Structure 1
Amino acid sequence: MSNLLAFPMYAVDQANTRALWLTVKRLLAARGVSVDRVPGWPESNLLTHWQQPELILSQTCGYPLVTLLPDVQVVGCFHYTAPGCEGIQYRSFLVVRAEDRHLTLADFRGGRAVCNSADSQSGYRALRKKVADDNFFSQTTFSGSHRQSLIDVKRGEGDIAAIDCVTWALLQRHEPERLEGLAVIDRTSLTPGLPLITSHNTSPDTLNAIRDALRALVESPENRDVCNAVLIGGFSAVARQAYASLSA
């Protein structure tokens, strides 16, 4: 079986995601870790992809990690340079139509929330924690993606959405038209960012090699352009325990 490597979570620009994939593949190969699968979106659904026994490296969301992926190993977390990030931590922006930019979150009590998915930390769980009231919104719908949540708010099919701040920054750079007619009125609390994971089958030596490759990715000047393109500013090796609070 092919060893699997993918970066499915922030693939706003395919060319930049491919460049990241190729760079990490090269750094892994230099450390004796082969990756044979061609770059691209995982062939299966994401949960199945994350559970593959041949998984060398992928990126998931914190909430699925603690609720659906008990067996994967946590490699670490990138530091993103997007506004709203601090070290390995990130947050979400609360986004509304531009004509509602003068309102506060309290004004949306009884309104309609749009979330990307029920297992999303940034799009759903963080918003629920922010309002601290399961009955705050009159309706919560699930769009399937942050992009679609923005479309739904803009069309008036919902009133407010929580959007991952890294996704927001990447859309500002690559798809600014997606954000036209929208405004940020608030932000959620900081929480550990998207974890990088590997299979439970990955040996300790291979895990160390993966972490060493990711340190080289962010520390070597020759990789600076690749990292800057996808807003990666650093990497920290972190343990699963860093995400334990997200299961509450």
Structure 2
Amino acid sequence: MTWIAALPMYNVTPALAFEWREWLADVLLRVKPACRIVEPDEELHGFWRRPNLLISQTCGYPLMHGLHKQVQLIATPRYDAPGCEGADYSSVLVTRADAPFDTLAACRDARAAYNQDDSNSGMNVFRHAVAPLAQGGAFFSAVVRTGSHLGSLRAVAENRADVAAIDCVTFAFIADEMPELARQMRRIGLTAPSPGLPLIASNTVPSQTIEALRDALNDTLATQPERVKRLRLQGFSTLTLADYARIEQLEDEARAAGYPRLA
């Protein structure tokens, strides 16, 4: 079997994607068996389920909605980004810098943007934040799915939407890599925290290889400090599926409040 690896989640610019790929190559040099870094050639839900997947990164929402049956957790990165605490992260609620909204409550009848239906940071925690404010299952005048956090930020900047929830790690990378876009945003809140995006492997990967990957992840923190700083990595935590149940709890709380979807 030819093992494969990819890190598809925080590549907000080509330069940052290159840094992540170089870091992943460094990790893989320290483990056996040999593994090939690839660009996913199919929809990510299918890619994550490949039996020859040695390491990748997913979102906690799909993890808890079926993906956990085909994969195992390696580790959860800890990031140096506002809104992160340990292995937990939140989403930053943003509007345009010149918009009249100072709080999420003030965004009633505004236009919301979100990235994907299966995103914890762009949809699930956003829904949870809005749920106590919604009446009759509705809060916004319009909701648009953009396909990515970057797409949501651009929708807000271009006045096609008024508010969005952006993964705080993504937002920190946007501030680093695209400061002109970040300056067009104004933060108006922070969502509830939940466990960050985990590194995963196929269930076919032997347990000793998982341990070797964990050792390699930590080893790379010391070898290239400037790269680690640019990637905002602080370390890695070993979490369980029970820890990620927090994501389902946020979903259940929004549904119990009569707000099953962004609306």
Aligned equivalent of 1:188 = 191
- Cα 1:103/1:66, change in 2 over 3 Å: same
| Aligned residue number for residue 228 of structure 1 | 229
Task: Say if 1:51 and 1:72, in contact at 8 Å, map to a contact too.
Answer: yes
- Runs (4+) off by over 6 Å: none
Cα separation, 2, equivalents of 1:172 and 1:23: 21
Aligned to 1:44: 42
Tell me the equivalent position of 1:148.
Answer: 151
Listed as ranges, the gaps of 5+ residues in structure 2 are: 253-263
What is the aligned partner in structure 2 of residue 7 from structure 1? 7
Q: In 1, Cα distance between the equivalents of 2:110 and 2:102?
A: 12
CA distance in 1, matches of 2:66, 2:145: 19
Q: Which moved more, 1:118-127 or 1:170-179?
A: 170-179
Q: How far off is 1:13 after superposition? A: 3.6
The answer as to whether partners of 1:115 and 1:149 remain within 8 angstroms in 2 is: yes
Aligned ranges 1:55-74 → 2 under 5 Å: 55-69=53-67, 70-74=69-73
Q: Kindly state the Cα deviation for residue 48 of structure 1 after the two structures are TM-superposed.
A: 1.3
Q: Which runs of 5+ in 1 are unaligned?
A: none
Q: How far apart are 1:149 and its partner, in Å?
A: 0.6
Distance (Å, rounded) in 1 between the aligned partners of 2:107 and 2:11: 31
Q: How many residues matched?
A: 244
Identity rate, percent: 38
Deviation at 1:223, TM superposition (A): 2.4
Tell me, in whole angstroms, the C-alpha distance in 2 between the residues paired with 1:66 and 1:107: 32
- Worse-superposed segment, 133-142 or 149-158: 133-142
CA-to-aligned-CA distance 1:23-62 (integer Å, 9 cap, x gap): 4334433332311235xx3222211111111101111111
Instruction: Name the CA shift for 1:150/1:236 in 2 (closer, same or farther; >3 Å).
Output: same
> What SS does the corresponding residue of 1:217 show, helix, strand or coil?
helix
3-state DSSP class of the match of 2:224? helix
- CA deviation digits over 1:89-125, x for unaligned, max 9? 1111111111226521111112211000111111111
Matched, 1:161 2:161: no
Question: 2:102 — aligned with what?
Answer: 103
Give the AA of the match of 2:240. Answer: A
The residue identity in structure 2 corresponding to 1:54 is: N
TM-score, with structure 1 as normaliser = 0.92
The 8 Å contact of residues 26 and 220 in structure 2, kept in 1 or not, is answered as no
Equivalent position of 1:237 in the other structure? 238
Is it true that 1:246 corresponds to 2:226 in the alignment?
Answer: no
The alpha-carbon deviation at position 227 of structure 1 amounts to 1.3
**Stretch moving more, 43-52 or 100-109:** 100-109
User: 1:143·1:149 contact (CA, 8 Å) conserved in 2?
Assistant: yes
Contact 1:91–1:191 (Cα < 8 Å) also in 2: yes
**1:28·1:209 contact (CA, 8 Å) conserved in 2?**
no
**Are 1:84 and 2:83 matched, yes or no?**
yes
Please provide the CA RMSD for this pair: 1.7
Q: Distance in 2 between matches of 1:198 and 1:233?
A: 21
Aligned to 1:30: 30
Cα deviation for residue 14 of structure 1 reads: 3.2
